[in-house]
Amino acid sequence: MLKLTSLTKHYQEVAALSAVSFHVAPGERVALLGHNGAGKSTLMKIVLGLIPYDAGQVSVLGAAPGSAQARAGVAYLPENVAFHPALTGEEQIRLFLSLRGEDPAKARGLLDRVGLHGAARRRIGTYSKGMRQRVGLAQALVGHPKLLILDEPTSGLDPVSRRDFYALLDELAAEGAAILLSSHALTEVEARTDRIVILSGGHLVATGTLSTLRSEADLPVTMQITPAFGQAATVADSLPEAVLQVAQFHLCVSQGQKLAFLARITALGEAVTDLELIPPSLEDIYSHFSRRDGQ
Amino acid sequence: MTAILALARAEFRIAARNRWLAIAAVLMVVFALILTAAGSGPTGSLGVDRLSVTVASLTSLSVYLVPLIALLLSFDAVAGEAERGTLSLILTYPIGRGQILAGKAVAHLAILTLALIAGYGTAGVAAFLLDPTSVQGLGALVRLIWTSVALGATFLGLGYAISARAKRPSGAAGLAIGLWLLAVVLYDLALLAAVVADNGGLFTKQVFPLTLLANPADAFRLYNLAASQATAVAAGVAAAAQSVPVWQSAASVLIWPLVSGGLALLSFRKVVP
């Protein structure tokens, strides 16, 4: 569906994208992560054919970006899009249907699908931010696109709207659509995408599923050990690496040492009343990759 | 074609809900009625029917109002979409930039035409009620309407070109007001100063008629006044340029919408969202 090979783009002297390569297969949901200015929006605009690129290859549905064939099968949701406040949601979607040569009468169905049934005849000016984002999403569903490019689709959405949004993406992916969505936080995309691509300073710094990224990052696990009453000294003796903080021992161990330490702690038996294992957070993993370039 | 009409329908709705249509129509009707009433004095002495006199007054008014309304309708066309973030979206749809502009132009031109017909039509009816011989001036009224539409189309195109260059609606609004001042006020003032300074020399005879044809607003005034032979009731720059053949001013009125449309398209094609 989408294939990027050594994609490079410069703005004057500044490199916005440096030799970025990845692909999105049909039915696959890929999250593009990065800080502001990492090159996410630039990459998306190149894929959409809105701006030219300097080197490398881009293949969108087997055609050049921005070509008639590509435009016919690609849907886009821009970041922070605000439709004209004077039109109703239904009128806006009818227009987008007409622009793709579809029957405008399908507008109601599309608005129902994104949960805007009741507000279809109200002007967009009266919508909340989440409702406006739903109009944008309804627009992206017009004409069963083969590839969806969604720029920060969940920013500003409340948790319920976000969950609805990902449920809809699941349906689309199940129907065979390829989805590339960007976000600046790993916590927002977490388990709802098949693969994650992390950009930093225009470089692709990591790609893979969340679990591969987790093991690749090899960030330490934190263990919180609560000693039994009066047993603190015993625990401190057998775990000299642990630091005592407010009646709990904190231990930072690498992934490889994890099991060995667990064995040592369980060997303490009754001296330990509780053990908490805290894996590295999604933010820790993301920071690990996006800072590797010295940012 | 479906895409252009769908865009035009949406744009028309937006303009109607933003009260542009009502404002433009009321403005034209009010001014037309005032001019019809005010123009009742000189008819007897000039031996011209009332409508012809009204058309001469309306021509002078339209030179200012029509470009203003057209620029007000068009300045937001591209810059507004860019600011709302819908420009990059619509450019990813399978339609060309020419179609996008055409859709907007159809809607805006329809609004302008409705306002013009409302205003000039009112003037026509009023003149006829006051003076039945006004039928003689009907040709002049029809000519005023179609040339006003052409003048409006010219300034719509220039407004789109400005809107595409400006990137922000506030910047586009400033440029549009600047263009309006330049085209309908300062241009004539500068020409008048040059003619006075030249004192009947080469500039007045050779260059001056060409400078009038080069400005769409002046060409519009020239054509309407010359064609209806109502120059007797008009004064100023137009009266001084009777040497320009009617076909030349008509050609300028007709060619300008094409030129400005071309400029709009060129300017819009250069926009990188």
Stretch B22-37: mean pLDDT, rounded? 89
Torsion of CA B64, B69, B74, B80, to 10 degrees: 120
**pLDDT at residue A32 is higher than 70:** yes
Distance from CA of B30 to the nearest CA of A (A): 27
CA distance A275 to chain B (A): 51
Interface check A49 vs B, CB under 8 A:
yes
Q: Do A74 and B273 touch (CB under 8 A)?
A: no
| A95 to B17: CB separation less than 8 angstroms, yes or no | no
Indicate the residue of B6, B84, B273 with minimum beta-carbon distance to A99.
Answer: B6
> What is the Cα–Cα distance from B33 to B241, expressed in whole angstroms?
29
* Residue B236 clears pLDDT 80, i.e. is over it: no
Residue B232 has pLDDT above 70, yes or no: no
Q: DSSP states of chain B as a string?
A: -HHHHHHHHHHHHHHHHTTHHHHHHHHHHHHHHHHHHHTTSTHHHHT--HHHHHHHHHHHHHHHHHHHHHHHHHTTTTHHHHHHTHHHHHHTSSS-HHHHHHHHHHHHHHHHHHHHHHHHHHHHHHHHHH-GGGGGGHHHHHHHHHHHHHHHHHHHHHHHHHHHHHSSHHHHHHHHHHHHHIIIIIHHHHHHHHHHHHTSSHIIIIIHHHHHHHSHHHHHHHHHHHHTT-GGG--TTTGGGTTS-HHHHHHHHHHHHHHHHHHHHHHHHT---
A132-172 per-position pLDDT tens digit = 989 999 999 999 999 999 998 887 788 888 888 889 999 99
Q: Are B252 and B147 in contact (CB under 8 A)?
A: no
Nearest to B92 among A74, A92, A95 (CB): A74
Which domains does chain A carry?
2-215 (3.40.50.300), 220-279 (3.30.70)
Residues 6+ apart with CB under 8 A from A188: A154, A155, A162
Choose the most confident range, by mean pLDDT, from A291-295, B140-144, B257-261.
B257-261
Q: How confident is the model at residue B161 (pLDDT cuts 50, 70, 90)?
A: very high
Mutate to test the interface with B, among A99, A103, A144 (most CBs of B within 10 A): A99
What's the CA gap between A202 and A281, in Å, rounded? Answer: 24
Contact across the interface for A96 and B93, Cβ inside 8 Å: yes
Per CB-CB distance under 8 Å, the chain A contacts of B272 are 50-51
What was the pLDDT predicted at B228? 67
User: Quick check: B269 contacting A, CB < 8 Å?
Assistant: no
ipTM over cut 0.90: no
**Residue A46 pLDDT grade (very low, low, confident, very high; cuts 50, 70, 90):** very high
Give the list of residues 6+ apart from residue B204 with CB closer than 8 angstroms, or none: B195, B198
Query: How large a percentage of chain B has pLDDT more than 70?
Result: 90
B3: closest CA of chain A, how far (Å): 5
In the predicted structure, residue A295 carries a pLDDT above the cut 60: no
* B135 pLDDT more than 90: no
pLDDT for res A100: 94
CA nearest to A49 within chain B: B92
Scanning chain A, the segments in alpha helix (DSSP H) are 40-47, 68-73, 89-99, 107-113, 129-140, 159-174, 186-189, 210-217, 232-238, 258-267, 282-290
Query: pLDDT, tens digit, for every residue of B10-21?
Result: 999 999 998 988
Q: Does pLDDT of B107 surpass 90?
A: yes
Task: Quick: pLDDT tens for A234-265.
Answer: 888 888 888 888 888 898 888 888 888 889 88
Contacts 24+ apart (CB under 8 A), B189-198: B191/B237, B192/B236, B192/B237, B195/B240
| Single-letter code of the amino acid located at A271 | A
So what's the pLDDT on residue B49?
75
Shortest CB distance from A71 goes to which of B9, B94, B273?
B94
Q: Pick from B27, B54, B52: which is nearest to B38 by CA?
A: B54
pLDDT at A53 exceeding the cut of 50: yes
Task: Give the number of other CB atoms < 10 A from CB of residue A224.
Answer: 15
Q: A247 CA to chain B: closest CA distance, Å?
A: 54
* Measured distance CA(A1)–CA(B84) in Å, rounded: 29
CA B58: distance to chain centroid?
12
Partners of A63 in the β-ladder: A60
The pLDDT value given to residue A77: 94
- Give the per-residue SS3 of B199-257: CCCHHHHHHHHHHHHHCHHHHHHHHHHHHCCCHHHCCCCCHHHCCCCHHHHHHHHHHHH
